[in-house]
Amino acid sequence: MPNEVKATGTKESAPVRAGIVQSGDRSFSLAEIRERSSRAATGFAAMGLEDGGTLAIMLRNDTPFIECVLAANQIGAYSVPINWHHKSEEVRYLLNDSRAAVLVVHSDLLHDIRHVVPENISVICVQTPPEIRQAYGVPDETALPLPGCLEWESWLAQHTPLPERPSASRGTMVYTSGTTGLPKGIKREPVPSHNREAYAALRRQWFGHQPGMRTAIVGPMYHSVQASYALAAVSANGGVFLLPRFDAEQVLALIEAEKLTHLHLVPVMMNRLLQLPRIVREKYDLSSLQFVIHGAAPCPPDVKRRFIEWWGPRVYEYYGTSEAGMVSRSSSDEWLRREGTVGKAWPGRTVRIYDNEGRVLPPRVEGVVYMSLGLMPDFTYHNADEKRSEIERDGLVTNGDIGYLDEDGYLFLCDRQQDMVISGGVNIYPAEIEAVLATHPGVSDSAVFGIPDPEYGEALAAAVQPRNGQTLSATELASFLKTRLAKYKVPREFEIRNPLPRDESGKIFKRLLRDRYWANTGRRI
């Protein structure tokens, strides 16, 4: 198969559009988006959102998401994207911990969480638009704002744009979890107003964005990289098409119709595109594509190789973390020459491999991956400053990945030091799930871990030890978790074990539990 995307040349497409944000049938010029976000900034400020404050955003892919982040930046406030899969108690925790002053939420989502929203938080409802209602089967009656709730469009119309002022931009405060099971916000130092454009230019470089580029946002913007990717496209005066959810053929059709030039994917999306029948894959003209980048989760080599064969050498891969941003990037040619690499450190970045005693390791010796922040603003963990020092060594930080550098400085990832599971590009922290299982009256202890999944890369499994005399079932445990956690955090498999394997100190041997799942897969987690 040729190593390029073939053009069919058989269809006429719509006029090429840049400098817009479109969701469904609604399209706004970027000038309109910036004007609307400035009016939102005036309204938020009147509600008490101030420099250093917090705006919570619980929206699916919709234009108000981008407007809210831009508005918070103008004020100098943090924006906190909330995963709309979260259950009410998860949302309660995030709203309280972030000390949000304002919550902007799609109307249908508010129905399930309104009872946990603190009284001191101002709530603005965004009417759930038709394309999202159709994509998620939202009943029409829940799409309308609740009685007494401010409605986004009418509220926006009441305000004039906020005058420009030299406020610092703080960006998003993304919540990530850890060994304690409680999510913590990554609170970054502000970007001074005189450095905003330099930082925006760096973000555009990461994603290969150019003036006038056109892209689709095909993943949820509550994910930090999707939001960052969308904002980078806006700053490049690009055309940004928001999809309510990923649909493989719909993406191909949109590439052809709007002559998309750039795209961000995660491996599960690449796999779903490859699973389309050949007749469907060859139906669409993809020749407009210039730069396609993927990351957020390990990509199986076979998927990566087949994708490059189909889409050509315009496929790039990055490695990054929520704390450190993009750390490295590899081109198709680099990956094909060094299968499995995630590239060399970004210019101005340092990547170093340490052993557990803090010694720097030579090439091709596996250890813990540490990285510098480069031009990224420094950070701490909101309400948990002490956690910052736990991940730092010699001025570098780590997220617990295990890997090595080759003689030319190319980074390869092998394992994870911590228990985090990456499923479909989403980070899942077993400690959070184990903490909920511990509240079940029949559970004595549990261990949650990742197992291989052909589509999502990893899925969740749980080994559960019952209390004396108790009988547990997988169905019962899954039902228990579904009422307390987002669906994607509920393990696919449950194993009842009495006792769980432990070392001499009493710690559960997770490696023994998961080894049998990973045997003969050619992967190590």
Half-sphere exposure of 348 toward its Cβ, with a 13 Å CA cutoff? 9
pLDDT at site 507:
66
Per-residue confidence at 54, pLDDT binned at 50, 70, 90? very high
pLDDT for 15 beyond 70: no
Domain assignment present for residue 2? The answer is no
Give CA 393 to chain center in angstroms. Answer: 26
pTM: 0.83
Domain assignment present for residue 465? The answer is yes
pLDDT at site 2:
37
Give the domain CATH number at 438: 3.30.300.30
Per-residue confidence at 179, pLDDT binned at 50, 70, 90? very low
| Domain extent at residue 493 | 421-518
Q: What is the 3-state secondary structure (H, E, C) of 224-265?
A: HHHHHHHHHHHHCCCEEEECCCCCHHHHHHHHHHHCCCEEEE
More confident of the two residues 27 and 303 = 27
> What integer is the mean pLDDT of 467-478?
88
Check if the beta carbon of residue 118 is closer than 8 Å to that of residue 95: yes
Domain assignment present for residue 487? The answer is yes
Question: To the nearest whole number, what is the mean pLDDT of the chain?
Answer: 88
Domain count of the chain?
1
pLDDT at site 321:
87
pLDDT at site 460:
93
> What integer is the mean pLDDT of 429-441?
83
Tens of pLDDT, residue by residue over 213-269, are 999 999 999 988 899 999 999 988 899 999 999 999 999 999 999 999 999 998 878
pLDDT at site 525:
54
| Percentage of the chain modeled with pLDDT above 70 | 93
Domain assignment present for residue 457? The answer is yes
Domain assignment present for residue 447? The answer is yes
pLDDT at site 177:
63
Domain assignment present for residue 94? The answer is no
Tens of pLDDT, residue by residue over 194-220, are 777 777 788 888 888 988 899 999 999
Domain assignment present for residue 164? The answer is no
Specify the pairing of strand 396-397 against strand 392-393. antiparallel
DSSP 190: P
| Percentage of the chain modeled with pLDDT above 90 | 55
Domain assignment present for residue 508? The answer is yes
pLDDT at site 276:
92
* SS3 of residue 53 by DSSP: coil
pLDDT for 6 beyond 60: no
Tens of pLDDT, residue by residue over 317-370, are 999 888 888 899 999 999 999 998 999 998 889 999 998 889 999 999 888 999
pLDDT at site 181:
59
Per-residue confidence at 524, pLDDT binned at 50, 70, 90? low
pLDDT at site 385:
86
Phi-psi map region of 522: left, alpha, beta (phi>0 left; psi -120 to 50 alpha): left
pLDDT at site 322:
85
Give CA 74 to chain center in angstroms. Answer: 23
Tens of pLDDT, residue by residue over 55-92, are 999 999 999 999 999 999 999 999 999 999 888 999 99
Indicate the burial class of 507 (C-beta count within 10 angstroms; 0-12, 13-18, 19 or more): exposed
Tell me the one-letter amino acid at 243. Answer: L
